[in-house]
Structure 1
Amino acid sequence: MKNVDYIIVGDGYAGLFFAHQLIKNNKSFVIFSEGRKSASQVSAGIINPVVLKKFTTFWKAQEQIDFLKDSLKEIASYTGKNYLIDASIHRIFHDENEQKLWLKKSATEELSGFLEEKFEHIDIVKNDFHTGKVNQSARLNVNGFFTGLFDYFEKNDFLVKEKFDYTLLDPSQLVYKDFNFKNIIFCEGMAVKDNPYFSGITVNANKGHHIRVKLSQPIPENITIKKKHFLFPTDNGLHFYGGTYDRDQLHNHVDESAVTQLVNGLSEFYPYDFEVKEVHFGFRPTVKDRRPIIGRQGTFNNLYVFNGLGARGILNGCYFARDLFRCIEEDIPLHEEVSLNRFE
Structure 2
Amino acid sequence: MRNVDYIIVGDGYAGLFLAHQLIKNNKSFVIFSEGRKSASQVSAGIINPVVLKKFTTFWKAQEQIDFLKDNLKQIESYTGENYLINAPIHRIFHDENEQNLWLKKSGIEELSHFLDKKFDRLNVVKNDFLAGKVNQSARLNVNGFFSGLFSYFEKNDHWVKEKFDYTQLHPSESTYKDLGFKNIIFCEGMGVKDNPYFSEIAVNPNKGHHIKVKLSQPLSENITIKKKHFLFPTGNGLYFYGGTYDREQLHHHIDESAVEQLVKGLSEFYPYDFEVEEVHFGFRPTVKDRRPIIGRHETFRNLYVFNGLGARGILNGCYFSRDLFRFIEEDIPLHEEVSLNRFQ
Deviation at 1:236, TM superposition (A): 2.1
- 1:194 CA displacement: 0.6
Q: Distance in 1 between matches of 2:123 and 2:308?
A: 39
Which residue of structure 2 lines up, in the alignment, with residue 158 of structure 1? 158
Equivalences for 1:74-153 in 2 at 5 Å?
74-153=74-153
- Separation (CA, whole Å) in 2 of partners of 1:335 and 1:237: 44
* Pairwise CA RMSD: 0.4
Distance (whole Å) between structure 1 residues aligned to residue 64 and residue 159 of structure 2: 27
SS of 2:260 mapped into structure 1: helix
DSSP-derived class of the 1:172 partner: helix
1:279, distance to aligned residue in structure 2 (A)? 0.1
Q: In the alignment, what sits opposite 1:238?
A: 238
> Aligned pair 1:48/2:86, yes or no?
no
Deviation per residue, 1:193-227 (Å, 9 max, x gap)? 01000011010000000000000001111110000
SS at match of 1:30: strand
Displacement after TM superposition at 1:308 (Å): 0.1
- Give 3-state SS (helix, strand or coil) of 2:173's partner: coil
Cα distance in 2, alignment partners of residues 107 and 95 from structure 1: 20
**Distance of 2:180 and 2:128 partners within structure 1:** 62
Residue aligned with 2:264, SS? helix
Alignment of 1:311-330 (within 5 A): 311-330=311-330
Q: State the alpha-carbon separation in 1 of the partners of residues 233 and 341 from structure 2.
A: 41
Counterpart-to-counterpart distance in 1, 2:276 and 2:123: 23
Matches within 5 A, 1:175-214: 175-214=175-214
Q: What is aligned with 1:283?
A: 283
Give the 4+ runs in structure 1 shifted more than 4 A: none
Could you tell me the TM-score, scaled by structure 1's length? 1.00
SS at match of 1:111: helix
The amino acid across from 1:272 in the alignment is Y
Query: What's the CA shift for 1:38?
Result: 0.2
Letter in 1 for 2:79: T
TM-score, length of structure 2 as denominator length = 1.00
Per-residue CA deviations over 1:44-75 (Å, capped at 9, x if unaligned) read 00000000000000000000000000000000
Name the SS of the counterpart of 1:239 in structure 2: strand
Per the alignment, residue 267 of structure 1 pairs with 267
Tell me by how many angstroms 1:110 deviates. Answer: 1.1
TM superposition shift of 1:235: 2.1
Q: What whole-Å deviation, never above 9, does each CA across 1:135-173 have from its counterpart, x for those lacking one?
A: 000000000000000000000000000000000000000
- The SS at the match of 2:144 is helix
Corresponding pairs, count: 344
- The Cα shift of 1:82 comes to 1.0
The equivalent of 1:249 in structure 2 is 249
Distance in 1 (alpha carbons) for counterparts of 2:110 and 2:97:
20
The one-letter amino acid of 1:171's match is P
**Secondary structure in structure 1 of the residue aligned to 2:16:** helix
Cα deviations by residue, 1:284-317 (Å, 9 ceiling, x for unpaired): 0000000000000010000000000000000000
Q: Deviations over 1:271-291 (max 9, x none)?
A: 000000000000000000000
- In the alignment, the residues of structure 2 paired with residue 120 and residue 221 of structure 1 have an alpha-carbon distance, to the nearest angstrom, of 16
Q: Secondary structure at the match of 1:335?
A: coil
| Structure 1 residue 309 corresponds to structure 2 residue 304 | no
- Structure 2 distance, partners of 1:43, 1:4, is 31
1:63-117 CA-partner distances (Å, limit 9, x unpaired) = 0000000000000000001100000000000000000000000000010000000
Residue 292 of structure 1 aligns to which amino acid in structure 2? P
* Separation in 1, partners of 2:27, 2:312: 27
Report the equivalent of 2:35: 35
Structure 1 residue 237, shift from structure 2 partner: 1.7
The one-letter code matched in structure 1 to 2:75 is: I
Q: Give 1:258's aligned residue.
A: 258
Q: Distance in 1 between matches of 2:24 and 2:329?
A: 13
Q: Which runs of 5+ in 1 are unaligned?
A: none
The letter of the residue matching 1:208 is G
Q: Following TM superposition, by how much is the alpha carbon of 1:35 offset from its aligned partner in structure 2, in angstroms?
A: 1.3
- For 2:224, the equivalent position in structure 1 comes to 224
Partners of 1:34 and 1:248 in 2: CA distance = 27
Percent of residue pairs bearing the same amino acid type: 85
Q: Describe the SS at the equivalent of 1:234.
A: strand
- Between the aligned partners of 1:322 and 1:8, the Cα distance in structure 2 is 15
**Which one-letter code corresponds to 1:96 in the other structure?**
E
1:58 aligns to what? 58
